[in-house]
A and B are shown apart, each in its own frame.
Chain A
Amino acid sequence: MLTIPLEIQILFAGILFLLGLIGVLVRRNIIFMLMSIEVMLNSAGLVFIIAGSHWKQPDGQVMFIFILAVAAVEVSIGLALILQVYHHYKTLDADAINKLKDTI
């Protein structure tokens, strides 16, 4: 059976994380930003699973289940807030709702 070295696995998860981060920074639509955050959280979960299988411990998978639960809560709150944002501003463009800033 072919085993992929640990470094490559972590690198793969790292690339996923970077893709998510770039998504948050580049995308201006709040729903897409939320999706990119999901990618980041899941890439961290992937590293936990990789590490768990590397150390032959269940801890990594336990942590992944927690991450899934927390990410679900975060998205549900996020979508509720996005509804409110649309209600108030009639847009989901992150730049358009940036009203709070330093006024000197």
Chain B
Amino acid sequence: MTITDFLCLSPFLIIAGAPIVIMILISILRNYAVVFGFSVLSLLIAFASIFFIVPAEPHSIKQLFIIDSYSLFFLGIIILSALLVTMLSYEYIKQLEGVREEYYIILFTSTLGASLLAVANHFILFFLGFETLSISLYILIAFQKTKDSSIEAGIKYLIMASVSSAFLLFGMALIYTAFGTMQFNEVGSAIHNQGQFSPLVITGFGMMMVGIGFKLALFPFHMWTPDIYQGAPAPVTAYIATVSKGALMAVLIRFFFNIKGFDNPYFFAVISVISIFSMTIGNLLAIRQQNLKRLLAYSSIANMGYLIIILLTGSNRGIQSAIFFLTAYFVTTIGAFGVISLLSTAKNEAEKIADYEGLFWERPWIAIVLTICLLSLAGIPVTAGFIAKFYIIFEGMKAGLLVLVFSMIINSVIGLYYYIRVITTLFANTGKTKLPLLSFTGNLTLALITLSILVLGIYPGWLINIIVKFVHL
């Protein structure tokens, strides 16, 4: 280990060290506000430390880690989303009964797992990051111990995620049997030398796809999504929808581009079918939902369907558009779930669309935030979601993926229907809202999120410039 190695690992060391400090803090003085403040501070320091690594990249540590511009960018958005989720959790977790400070410890360990996925270049690190993330999520989902639905969602996620990780692991083992290496780039060159795939390799990749597809909630492994989203505490739902999926997408893009999956007709067909079915099924099932959390769950299935189109473009530009899409999607989704978690109380989760009836006339500010988030998810101009979708369509057209792009456009129109349905409820002229007032941290976070959605929608040039100049695989 050299000094550069330690420098490159500094964000991970901070994220891994923070929970230990919190544990000691709790044992000395159990104070919710102190633990919260410390968590926000350490995430900020971890984010700042990324800028010190930039001059050292690209750098790889012992086959396992690869620190390049691509992984640093993902690391940045993962840590920032974890920060936003932490800030949105403050009020929600504060009103729970029993121990609450431990929430932040688990949030840190899951962020550690997610950020390890962003730098993984080896099956061992892939598996460890994947499991650190999932195991922390089991606890986070079931964190509201007094609520039946939270426990049910936790055990459901535990069973299904463990099965999916067993599939992932078996797939990795088969690929290791076939090629004798577990490094992504060496697997890629071994495939390149071999030319065609043996049944062993095809089974291996297929089983890995089950594991990854489950985490990304892609068709046909999407069944868990609405149940878990509904049962989990709202900030945790925001976390699953963004950080967990984004980290898996980071590792999937790196792996897929290393093995040049887009050149292979099998992969091409499978990814196309998964993409088309994910967006169609996600949007169709969302249409009649009466529960906002389930509606957003189905919309996230559709969004992941849009996103995996870029796997097939096989170009650097495709990766860059995926990164922009993920950034916009992260901000928007955290905003939407943030509104839900700020309006929820310990007794009453604000998850039914009916709860939001006439919200605009009593709380115009929060209704406007939710409207902007939903419009961004629908991909209406002036919001970040529009630019993100535009880039995916643009890159898809350039790569000649006409069928996929066409079905994405049709699906965006279907999606518009149910987002608008929620928005009309917000502006309905009936009902008295019983939802609670917002706190200062909540207002601040929502203001930040709204601002970034609008900035990314109106003037996306600066971020695109950064991505194009800086991020390439």
Contact = CB atoms under 8 A, between A and B. Distances in A.
A20 B159 CA distance: 12
Given A99-B149, A102-B226, A63 B154 contact: no
B290 interface: yes
A59 to B, nearest CB: 6
A88 B151 contact: yes
A20 B165 CA distance: 13
B159 A30 contact: yes
B469 interface: no
B148 interface: yes
A100 interface: yes
B288 interface: yes
B294 A102 contact: yes
Given A21-B163, A66-B124, A77-B139, A100 B155 contact: no
Interface in B156-190: 156, 158-159, 162-163, 165-166, 169-170, 172-174, 176-177, 180, 182
Contacts, number: 128
Contact of B159 (A17, A33, A62): A33
Contact of A100 (B131, B158, B159, B227): B227
A100 B230 contact: yes
A73 B135 contact: yes
B152 interface: yes
A84 B153 CA distance: 12
Nearest to B145: A84
A91 interface: no
A24 B163 CA distance: 8
B256 interface: no
Interface in A26-43: 30, 33-34, 37, 40-41, 43
Interface in A50-86: 50-51, 54-55, 57, 59-60, 62-63, 66-67, 70, 73-74, 77-78, 81-82, 84-85
B61 interface: no
Nearest to A76: B135
B288 A51 contact: no
B318 interface: no
Given A44-B173, A50-B177, A62-B124, A99 B148 contact: yes
A19 interface: no
B128 interface: yes
B391 interface: no
Nearest to A7: B200
A24 B148 contact: no
A45 to B, nearest CB: 8
Interface residues of A, number: 49
A104 B166 contact: no
A48 B175 CA distance: 10
Contacts of A48: 173, 176
A46 to B, nearest CB: 8
A100 B231 contact: yes
B419 to A, nearest CB: 18
A3 interface: no
A104 to B, nearest CB: 5
Given A62-B124, A81-B138, A88-B151, A101 B163 contact: no
Contacts of B156: 100
Interface string B121-145: 0011001100100010011001001
Closest 3 CB pairs of A and B: A47-B173, A40-B166, A44-B169
Interface of A: 6, 10, 13, 17, 20-21, 24, 30, 33-34, 37, 40-41, 43-45, 47-48, 50-51, 54-55, 57, 59-60, 62-63, 66-67, 70, 73-74, 77-78, 81-82, 84-85, 88-89, 94, 97-104
Interface of B: 123-124, 127-128, 131, 135, 138-139, 142, 145, 148-149, 151-156, 158-159, 162-163, 165-166, 169-170, 172-174, 176-177, 180, 182, 200, 226-227, 230-231, 285, 288-291, 294
Given A74-B158, A81-B142, A85-B155, 13 more contacts: A6-B177, A37-B163, A41-B162, A45-B169, A48-B176, A59-B176, A78-B155, A84-B142, A98-B152, A99-B149, A100-B227, A101-B227, A104-B289
16 contacts: A20-B166, A30-B159, A41-B165, A43-B170, A45-B169, A50-B177, A51-B180, A55-B176, A59-B124, A59-B176, A63-B123, A66-B124, A66-B127, A70-B127, A78-B155, A98-B152
